[in-house]
């Protein structure tokens, strides 16, 4: 049982990042479906890498430089996997006028103007928000942001249908809806690092990330009737940014 769950976790690490995993880890569509519950745990791994790089860099450079290096570390670890989804989704929803056209644009390897703008806003937004945080909160924010944003993307796996029919689509193995039990497990992993943040800021970040996820999900349902792998990446990115926005929010008294 433990070995099987470890294999599912490592399978998720292999699918969602470029980090090496042991050779004995199997690969199958069925195993990858079970791996979906570990999606937020991958966020914990990526967030931990970012936090460690940030803390090390902060010993030598100002906070903005440390944030930039931490972001670079996550891009290297994931191969910009989710950023690519954000770019493709922006191009598809921005340039398409029906489901077939949107899906065709999203599958195109070329990046359009909507994708470029979305990437610039996404990366710049994360940099500005993290650089504006209390330096002592950034490591916990990175852990929680990466985990909870992937928890938000996991919600799509449990509540929406897969939009593509082609068997070669990159998220096809995740097409089965996530059952309530695995979903609760994934959300527990996603929520755990929020305990290291002040409760009011954590609650604001959680709420804004959920609102961003709901907004995107409504657009996906309207235009696609479901999600794609790119939609999951876009959701992770937007939810992460919204989470950092919540941490920084100054509510009127």
89 within a domain of the structure (yes/no): yes
Task: Kindly list the averaged pLDDT for each block of 10 residues, start to end, along the chain of length 253.
Answer: 87 94 79 87 98 98 98 98 97 93 93 96 98 98 98 96 72 72 96 96 97 98 95 98 96 66
Decide if 5 is inside a domain. no
Residue-wise pLDDT tens digits, 227-237? 999 999 999 99
Cα distances (angstroms) measured from residue 248 to each of 1, 80, 238, 244, 245: 41, 25, 16, 6, 5
164-191 pLDDT, tens digit each: 876 545 555 566 788 899 999 999 999 9
Enter the pTM of the model.
Answer: 0.94
Q: In this structure, is residue 7 part of a structural domain? A: no
Q: Which domain holds residue 45?
A: 39-156+186-248
Is 53 a domain residue?
yes
Give the number of domains in the chain: 1
CA of 172: how far to CAs of 38, 167, 177, 249, in Å? Answer: 17, 6, 11, 37
Residue 177 lies in a domain: no
Residue 173 lies in a domain: no
């Amino acid at each position: 049982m433990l070995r099987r769950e470890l294999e599912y976790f490592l399978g998720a690490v292999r699918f969602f990042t470029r980090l090496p995993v042991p050779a004995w880890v199997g690969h199958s569509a069925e195993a990858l479906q079970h791996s979906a519950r570990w999606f937020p745990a991958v966020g914990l791994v990526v967030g931990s890498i970012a936090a460690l790089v940030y803390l090390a860099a902060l010993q030598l450079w100002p906070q903005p430089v440390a944030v930039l290096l931490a972001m670079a570390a996550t891009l290297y670890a994931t191969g910009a996997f989710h950023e690519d989804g954000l770019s493709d989704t922006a191009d598809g929803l921005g340039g398409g006028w029906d489901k077939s056209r949107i899906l065709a644009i999203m599958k195109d390897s070329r990046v359009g103007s909507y994708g470029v703008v979305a990437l610039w806003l996404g990366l710049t937004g994360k940099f500005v928000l993290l650089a504006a945080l209390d330096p002592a909160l950034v490591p916990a924010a990175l852990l929680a942001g990466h985990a909870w944003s992937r928890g938000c993307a996991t919600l799509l796996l449990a509540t929406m249908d897969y939009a593509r029919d082609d068997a070669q689509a990159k998220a096809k193995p995740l097409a089965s809806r996530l059952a309530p039990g695995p979903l609760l497990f994934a959300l527990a992993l996603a929520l755990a690092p929020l305990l290291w943040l002040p409760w009011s800021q954590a609650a604001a970040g959680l709420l804004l990330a959920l609102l961003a996820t709901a907004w995107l999900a409504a657009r996906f349902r309207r235009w696609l009737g479901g999600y794609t792998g790119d939609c999951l990446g876009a959701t992770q990115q937007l939810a992460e940014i919204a989470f950092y926005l919540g941490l920084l929010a100054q509510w009127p008294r």
